[in-house]
């Protein structure tokens, strides 16, 4: 292992870091030696050092799974600053396991294999690299070059920024980049005239940076997409098709290399003579005839799918001009089957085409927009409450929509696989006119009913109510007279109450509610506690559920499969009683205390707050405690898992049953956004969103071997700046929503898929 320093070669970055891994000899007899892998890695390391990178190398027996991940997590991540860049290179074996519609892909480290361990414990999965990418999220640009035979799925939308745009570099360097280039499924070895053996991808990567050969627009810089545009056709001609993709957090930025301009004329001549080979068919595309250009107008169903022309460099734009010839078009969108087909452009053609993509989703979304818009919407034959655009499995559902003063709407609807459904019912008003206005139904609130027998207005005037809901103590019995002037007609407000006790209770309740209401801006969406096992914070409206403590087996047991090494060994721990937040802390609750909303997904105040670091949360807790006169903290890792598993039960996910769609938001059903808290079903402790929606910070410091150090009673690890995160989130695959899954993030990390819930400390 070596670490060499260099100076940055351009003005767009502060510092540049690289990890280069090359494995020619393997400990396991399953994987044959690759004599060219280490030499390729050494060549790449030398190129990067010339480009100003600090290069950390791992070769052969040093390149174990633990060493590779530890170098990223401990050697690189803690040193990063916002204006830095990180480059990761791997040359060795790759492995693809078909596991449903989306295959699992792995990089093969040096390690010996153990028959008792599964692939995720021995190899390095794309999820592992994605997790490391999140740990380094503070950095501006990341680039993963994987010279191994694996495929990746590109989920990037076209940014519409052209290479010819005069502000191109300014735009792409200000946005974050999380880019990946792999060797693709068919990894090929080539032998040059000097009898030097290379991988195709490594060979052309080195040539792309040498003297600026990949500088397509001649501006003195090579972006990642320019690099891919240079490598892909050349590697294709040699029998290999590289794959490009991105990790979550990519924001249409571009990883950048500095390049001289002097060689552009020669390279342009080489590109002009370059013929692209289509590996998917035996027959080559017909030659392009140099006559007048045509235009290509492509639309997609669904809209906003990504369109790429694979055999030319410029990105596709609607109605773009193309020389007559054959063009390979790729249309893709997350959740849909990628469509690849050839289009032939003739002389002065005008081609208008709509390309339809087949959905890969096993679920569909339901959108209901009633008139009036504040009507209550319920799906009668399932447990979860309705939310706009909620995901449903194929089947029949009974929809009921009602509102006081209107006739109820009931209808059975059929949801088909992969096809969203939108309905816009119009409620018909009832003929009978009531003598007072009823309060409109509001989601997540209890409605207050006022018996007509208690109201005796002298004139038929509507009752004036405040925005705050009327407490239950303000509702009189049928044989009493209501004396609260807030809910009586004006001419009855001067009547005296029948009992002084009612007046005293009303005045006290009104004062407390007015004090809370001044701070609740915007209004909270939580219900009131429903039993004595719940407590509500008067400042924010947060509800806490009492959890009886106990002992349980913590970690990955037989009830939870496909776990990571840091979830072992299973060990018995005991926790005391505690109060835990029923919901993840919402954007509204954060804004009440902190005065601003940092969330990226600002869809509603009842959505979970995100883009908050562990350190930010400590400030929030301090301010909340002063205003509420209570004490709060984050849950320990042991408390969190005990609550997630409904009191330590043997549950893989946090809920009753095996269908994760009923109680968790994850990659396959979230549509890549957060959702309002409490939409899915709770677990057996009445806690919501413990699996999915946003990942949740814990109090503990993360250590991969923490379970070997835990004491039995109330275990906690406190030393270090990398903190534990649990629960999985909307961007994760469903397997990472399991109760035992754990990961560690730097305490200053802020991410759009990372939130928290609190523990109330009992005085």
| Three-class DSSP labels, 510-548 | HHHHHHHHHHCCCCCCCCCCCCCCEEECCCCCCEEEEEC
Residue 236 belongs to what H/E stretch? helix 224-237
Tens-digit pLDDT profile for residues 310-328: 888 778 888 888 887 788 8
Backbone dihedral angles phi then psi of residue 715, each to the nearest 5 degrees: -70, 150
Backbone dihedral angles phi then psi of residue 98, each to the nearest 5 degrees: -75, 115
pLDDT band at 397 (very low <50, low <70, confident <90, very high): very high
Query: Token digits for 521?
Result: 């801006």
Q: 7 or 271: which carries more pLDDT confidence? A: 271
DSSP, res 626 = H
Q: How far apart are CA 309 and CA 222, in angstroms?
A: 20
Q: How far apart are CA 462 and CA 464, in angstroms?
A: 6
Q: What is the pLDDT of residue 275?
A: 52
The rounded percent of the chain whose pLDDT value lies above 90 is: 34
Which of 120-129, 403-412, 490-499, 726-735 has the lowest average pLDDT? 490-499
The yes-or-no verdict on residue 236 having pLDDT over 80 is no
Task: Please tell me whether the peptide bond between 83 and the residue prior to it is cis, using omega within 30 degrees of 0.
Answer: no
- Residues 361/330, Cβ–Cβ less than 8 Å: no
131 φ/ψ sector (left φ>0, alpha ψ -120 to 50, else beta): alpha
Give the chain's length.
763
Mean pLDDT of 540-544: 93
- Residues 647/641, Cβ–Cβ less than 8 Å: no
**Hey, is 1 helix, strand or coil?**
coil
First to last CA, the chain: 52
The yes-or-no verdict on residue 487 having pLDDT over 50 is no
Mean pLDDT of 600-616: 88
Count CB neighbours of 155 within 10 A.
16
pLDDT band at 166 (very low <50, low <70, confident <90, very high): low
Count CB neighbours of 49 within 10 A.
16
Task: Please tell me whether the peptide bond between 573 and the residue prior to it is cis, using omega within 30 degrees of 0.
Answer: no
Query: Angle 224-237/200-209 helices, nearest 10 degrees?
Result: 130
Average pLDDT of every residue of the chain? 78
CA dist 508 → 222, 472, 541 (Å): 70, 13, 19
Tens-digit pLDDT profile for residues 67-96: 999 889 888 998 999 999 999 999 999 888
Q: How far apart are CA 382 and CA 370, in angstroms?
A: 20
Q: What is the pTM of this model?
A: 0.40
Q: What is the pLDDT of residue 164?
A: 54
Tens-digit pLDDT profile for residues 424-475: 899 999 875 444 444 444 434 333 343 333 334 444 444 443 333 433 333 3
Tens-digit pLDDT profile for residues 201-232: 888 888 888 777 787 767 778 888 888 888 88
Q: How far apart are CA 220 and CA 257, in angstroms?
A: 9
Mean pLDDT of 387-400: 85
Query: Token digits for 193?
Result: 């005239």
**Hey, is 614 helix, strand or coil?**
helix
| Three-class DSSP labels, 76-130 | HHHHCCCCCEEEEEEECCEEEECCCCCCEEEECCCCCCCCCCCHHHHCEEHHHHH
Dihedral, CA of residue 612, residue 614, residue 620 and residue 621, to nearest 10: 150
Q: What is the pLDDT of residue 84?
A: 92
Q: What is the pLDDT of residue 284?
A: 44
Domains of the chain listed by start with CATH number: 2-186+239-252 (3.40.50.1460), 294-356 (2.60.40.1120), 444-504 (no CATH), 534-761 (3.90.1580.10)
Helix-, strand-, coil-residue percentages of the chain, each rounded to 5 = 20, 25, 55
Q: How far apart are CA 535 and CA 525, in angstroms?
A: 16
Mean pLDDT of 112-134: 80
Which of 284-288, 337-341, 354-358, 705-709 has the lowest average pLDDT? 284-288
Query: Token digits for 459?
Result: 């004139």
**Hey, is 707 helix, strand or coil?**
helix
Pair type for strands 306-309 and 325-332: antiparallel
Query: Token digits for 153?
Result: 């799925």
Alpha-helical runs (H) found in 419-545? 500-519
Picking from 211, 237, 218, 142, the residue whose alpha carbon sits closest to that of residue 180 is 142
**Hey, is 426 helix, strand or coil?**
strand
Q: What is the pLDDT of residue 552?
A: 96
From the number of C-beta atoms within 10 Å of its C-beta (0-12, 13-18, 19+), residue 588 rates as buried
Q: 119 or 704: which carries more pLDDT confidence? A: 704
- Residues 692/674, Cβ–Cβ less than 8 Å: no
- Residues 199/187, Cβ–Cβ less than 8 Å: yes
Query: Token digits for 611?
Result: 């883009």
Task: Please tell me whether the peptide bond between 569 and the residue prior to it is cis, using omega within 30 degrees of 0.
Answer: yes
Q: What is the pLDDT of residue 74?
A: 86
């Amino acid at each position: 292992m070596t670490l060499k320093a260099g100076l940055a070669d351009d003005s767009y970055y502060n510092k540049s870091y690289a990890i280069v891994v090359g494995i020619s000899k393997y400990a396991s007899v399953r994987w044959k030696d690759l004599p060219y892998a280490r030499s390729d890695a050494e060549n790449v390391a030398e190129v990067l050092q010339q480009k100003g990178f600090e290069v950390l190398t791992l070769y052969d027996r040093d390149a174990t799974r633990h060493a590779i991940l530890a170098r990223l997590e401990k050697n690189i991540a803690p040193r990063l600053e916002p204006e830095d860049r990180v480059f990761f290179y791997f040359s060795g074996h790759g492995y693809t396991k078909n596991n449903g519609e989306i295959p699992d892909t792995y990089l093969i480290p040096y390690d010996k294999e153990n028959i008792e361990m599964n692939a995720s414990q021995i190899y390095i999965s794309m999820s592992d690299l994605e997790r490391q990418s999140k740990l380094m999220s503070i950095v501006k640009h990341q680039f993963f070059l994987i010279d191994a035979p694996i495929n990746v799925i590109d989920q990037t939308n076209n940014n519409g920024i052209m290479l010819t745009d005069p502000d191109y570099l300014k735009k792409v360097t200000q946005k974050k980049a999380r880019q990946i280039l792999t060797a693709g499924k068919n990894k090929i070895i080539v032998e040059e005239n000097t009898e030097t053996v290379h991988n195709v991808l490594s060979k052309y990567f080195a040539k792309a940076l040498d003297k600026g050969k990949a500088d397509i627009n001649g501006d003195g810089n090579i972006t990642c997409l320019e690099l891919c545009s240079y490598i892909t056709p050349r590697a294709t001609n040699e029998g290999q098709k590289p794959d490009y993709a991105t990790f979550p957090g990519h924001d249409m930025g571009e990883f950048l290399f500095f390049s001289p301009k002097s060689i552009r004329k020669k390279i342009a001549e080489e590109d002009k003579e370059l013929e692209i080979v289509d590996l998917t068919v035996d027959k080559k595309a017909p030659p392009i005839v140099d006559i007048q250009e045509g235009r290509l107008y492509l639309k997609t169903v669904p809209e906003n799918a990504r369109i790429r022309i694979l055999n030319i460099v410029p990105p596709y734009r609607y109605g773009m001009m193309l020389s007559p010839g054959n063009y390979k078009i790729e249309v893709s969108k997350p959740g849909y089957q990628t469509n690849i087909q050839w289009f032939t452009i003739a002389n002065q053609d005008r081609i208008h085409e709509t390309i339809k993509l087949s959905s890969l989703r096993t679920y569909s979304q339901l959108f209901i927009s009633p008139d009036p818009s504040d009507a209550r919407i319920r799906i009668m034959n399932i447990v979860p409450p309705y939310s706009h655009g909620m995901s449903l499995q194929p089947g029949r559902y009974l929809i009921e929509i009602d509102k006081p003063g209107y006739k109820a709407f009931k209808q059975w609807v059929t949801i088909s696989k992969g096809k969203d459904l939108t309905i816009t019912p119009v409620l018909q008003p009832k003929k009978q006119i009531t003598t007072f206005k009823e309060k409109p139904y509001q989601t997540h609130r209890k409605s207050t009913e006022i018996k007509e027998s208690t109201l005796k207005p002298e004139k038929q005037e509507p009752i004036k109510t405040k925005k705050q809901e009327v407490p239950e103590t303000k509702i009189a019995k049928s044989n009493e007279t209501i004396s609260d002037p807030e809910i009586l007609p004006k001419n009855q407000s001067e009547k005296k109450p029948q009992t002084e006790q009612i007046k005293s209770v009303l005045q006290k309740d009104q004062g407390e509610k007015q004090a809370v209401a001044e701070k609740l801006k915007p209004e909270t969406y939580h219900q009131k506690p429903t039993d004595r096992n719940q407590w509500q914070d008067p400042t924010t409206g947060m509800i806490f559920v009492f959890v009886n403590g106990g002992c349980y087996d913590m970690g990955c047991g037989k009830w939870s499969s496909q776990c990571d090494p840091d979830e072992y060994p299973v060990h018995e721990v005991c926790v005391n009683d505690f109060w835990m937040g029923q919901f993840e802390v919402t954007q509204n609750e954060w804004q009440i205390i902190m005065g601003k909303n940092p969330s990226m997904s600002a869809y509603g105040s009842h959505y979970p707050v995100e883009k908050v670091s562990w350190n930010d949360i400590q400030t929030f807790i301090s301010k909340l405690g002063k205003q509420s006169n209570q004490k709060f903290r984050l849950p320990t890792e042991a408390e969190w898992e005990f609550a997630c598993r409904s009191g330590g039960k043997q549950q893989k996910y946090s809920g009753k049953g095996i269908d994760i769609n009923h109680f968790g938001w994850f990659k396959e059903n979230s549509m890549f956004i957060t959702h309002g808290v409490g939409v899915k079903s709770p677990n057996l402790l009445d806690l919501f969103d413990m699996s999915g929606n946003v990942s949740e910070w814990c109090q503990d410091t993360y250590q991969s071997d923490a379970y070997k150090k835990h004491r039995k009673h109330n275990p906690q690890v406190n030393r270090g700046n990398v903190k534990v995160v649990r629960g999985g989130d909307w961007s994760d695959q469903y397997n990472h929503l399991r109760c035992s899954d754990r990961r560690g993030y730097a305490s200053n990390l802020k991410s759009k898929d990372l939130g928290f819930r609190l523990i109330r400390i009992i005085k």
